[in-house]
């Protein structure tokens, strides 16, 4: 196994942590030492586009906090700095600052044609669903009808199973909807 000259000078424990962080894109950081290793490796978590799982990689972030932050961002709240993240999560800034080396905050234009606007499938009207290309009007009506009869969709898999959608339709929908 070949190590960079920098990693050759690490003690065996740090070398092992570095290998774990390098080889596992979902590695959950346990300490600020691991955050420093991740920063050295160039790992970044873009808070603006982070999933719940991405945020759970951060030490000290609970599932409740991760869910709340993702929901706020999906609702249109802009989190453009560590201070914004601190306020949104009601966590002291001093507790988040050590995570700053691996956090990125980006602005994405909500009217951009490159990144489609996501609509909440459980509150969407037929007019809201109209923005989704390549999905028939009948399918959009079926989404609303099924939701009204059987309740909210839990996730993409639930939607797929309830409506018996093929992979092509799910591939189109997943870029435009959220739950």
pLDDT in tens, 137-156: 999 999 999 999 999 999 88
| Token pair belonging to 122 | 């459980």
78-100 mean pLDDT: 95
- Maximum Cα–Cα distance for the chain, whole Å? 63
pLDDT at 119: 86
Quick one: pLDDT band at residue 10, thresholds 50, 70, 90? low
pLDDT at 5: 47
43-48 mean pLDDT: 93
In eight-state DSSP terms, residue 92 is -
Q: State the CB neighbour count (10 A cutoff) for residue 33.
A: 12
Q: What is the mean pLDDT of the chain?
A: 87
pLDDT at 114: 60
Exposed / middle / buried, residue 6 (Cβ in 10 Å: 0-12, 13-18, 19+): exposed
Instruction: Return d(Cα 166, Cα 153) in angstroms, integer.
Output: 17
71-85 mean pLDDT: 90
Asked whether the predicted pLDDT for residue 80 surpasses 50, the reply is: yes
pLDDT at 1: 46
In eight-state DSSP terms, residue 61 is -
- β-pair partners for 103: 45
Q: Is beta strand 45-46 parallel, antiparallel or unpaired with respect to 119-120?
A: unpaired
């Amino acid at each position: 196994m070949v190590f960079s000259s920098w990693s050759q000078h690490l003690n065996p424990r740090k070398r092992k942590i570095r290998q774990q962080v390098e080889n596992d894109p979902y590695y959950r950081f346990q300490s600020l030492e691991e955050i420093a290793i991740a920063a050295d490796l160039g790992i970044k978590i873009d808070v603006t586009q982070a999933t719940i799982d991405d945020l759970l990689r951060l030490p000290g972030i609970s599932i409740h906090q991760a869910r709340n932050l993702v929901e706020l961002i999906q609702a249109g709240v802009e989190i453009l700095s560590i201070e914004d993240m601190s306020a949104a999560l009601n966590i002291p800034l001093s507790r988040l600052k050590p995570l700053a080396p691996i956090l990125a905050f980006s602005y994405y234009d909500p009217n951009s044609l490159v990144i489609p606007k996501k609509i909440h499938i459980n509150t969407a009207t037929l007019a809201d669903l109209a923005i989704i290309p390549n999905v028939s009007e009948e399918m959009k009506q079926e989404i609303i009808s099924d939701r009204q009869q059987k309740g909210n969709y839990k996730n993409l898999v639930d939607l797929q199973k309830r409506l018996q959608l093929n992979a092509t339709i799910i591939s189109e929908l997943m870029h435009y909807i959220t739950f």
